[in-house]
Structure 1
Amino acid sequence: MEILLAIIRPRRSPASEPDAQLLQRYIQRSSRYVPCDQREFSSEAALFAHLDRPARRTAPYLILTDSRGKQMSSEEFASTLGGVQDSGVQQVVMAIGPADGWSPEALRRASLTVAFGRITLPHELAAVVAAEQIYRALTIRAGHPYHHGH
């Protein structure tokens, strides 16, 4: 299984250097467990064009972040990712949505919609939180002490 953290970010709003460095740190740490990468898309349509490429053998497991999504503990998220991995899914895509929210069609296509609480976060912070939670979930599954030390 591989994980892609997809970020919808209009070209006019670049990530700041400290945010990008922290995001990359968690992506690199996660890559010790499974192939993991992050990619920016200019729009929801661009993300779905990427997901709909015909070269895929199986559809990705799509996790959308949305304040109305399911609130999960880190352990529940780790269990969910583990179940997805055990089912043979080749790719998980966790996506940070557009500033105006996901379209109804995107929400219908999602395998899972999760919330980082009821708060609204800027894209840069939401991406770092998502990357850290992916890393935390992978360490929980691997029995690594990271989860208990933080």
Structure 2
Amino acid sequence: MQIVLAHIGPRPSSKDVLEGLTAMYLERCGPHARCQSESFRSEEAMFEWMDRQQRRAPAVCVLLDSRGKQMTSENFAEWLGRRRDNGAQQIVFAIGPADGWSDVARKRATLLLSLGPLTLAHALARVVLAEQLYRAFTILTGHPYHSGH
């Protein structure tokens, strides 16, 4: 399975501390899934990129949206594990444009996901999402990271 952490906006600088944290968590996910980070100038560019991917099935598209579903870490791990076990080849988690996702984008999403009621800066949302992906994989494998042991 491949995980893509996408966002609409400028490409983050490799010198950015938050980008370094995001990369660290995505790297930690490596034993469980191939992970990559992508930046797009517009939601249209992201969906065009997704449409060009060569897969047996379309990508699972998760848009981060304040009106989306909120989950516990355990529920998120369950959701991710079901996608993995059902043969999802690619899951794209996308952080939207500053003015939010269009109605067209929302309709195309498999899931609208909220990280909580607070609005987060893109870079911070990327770190939180990358850490939650890593946490989900540790929950699925019974690794002690989640429980703090």
Q: Shorter-chain TM-score: what band?
A: over 0.9
Q: When the two structures are superposed, what TM-score results if normalisation uses the length of structure 2?
A: 0.94
User: What runs of 5+ residues in structure 2 fail to find an aligned partner?
Assistant: none
Q: Distance in 2 between matches of 1:91 and 1:39?
A: 13
For 1:82 and 1:54, locate their aligned partners in 2 and report how far apart those are by CA, in whole Å: 22
1:5 maps to: 5
- The residue number in structure 2 matching 1:106 is 105
Q: TM-score, normalised by structure 1?
A: 0.93
Counterparts in 2 of 1:125 and 1:15: CA distance versus 1, 3 Å: farther
Counterpart of 2:55?
A: 56
Deviation at 1:2, TM superposition (A): 1.1
Local SS of the residue matching 2:78: helix
Aligned residues: 149
When residues 54 and 91 of structure 1 are mapped into structure 2, their CA distance, relative to the original with a 3 A threshold, is closer
Q: How does 1:25-40 map to 2 (within 5 A)?
A: 25-40=24-39
Q: What residue in structure 1 maps to residue 146 of structure 2?
A: 147
Moved over 3 A (4+): 13-16
SS in 2 for 1:63: strand
Is contact 2:55-2:89 (8 Å) kept?
no
The 2-side partners of 1:30 and 1:84 are apart by 16
**Which 5+ residue runs of structure 1 have no aligned equivalent?**
none
Deviation per CA, 1:52-79, whole angstroms, max 9, x where unpaired?
Answer: 1162221011111011100100000000
Partner of 1:65: 64
Contact 1:4 1:37 (C-alpha < 8 Å) held by counterparts:
yes
Contact 1:15 1:124 in 2 (8 A): no
CA distances 1:68-114 after superposition (whole Å, capped 9, x unpaired): 10010000000000001111110111111111100101100111111
Across the aligned residues of Structure 1 and Structure 2, the Cα RMSD in angstroms comes to: 1.6
User: For the structure 1 residues 122 and 15, does the alpha-carbon distance in structure 2 shift closer, same or farther, using more than 3 Å as the test?
Assistant: farther
Q: Output the CA distance in 2 between the equivalents of 1:98 and 1:27.
A: 22
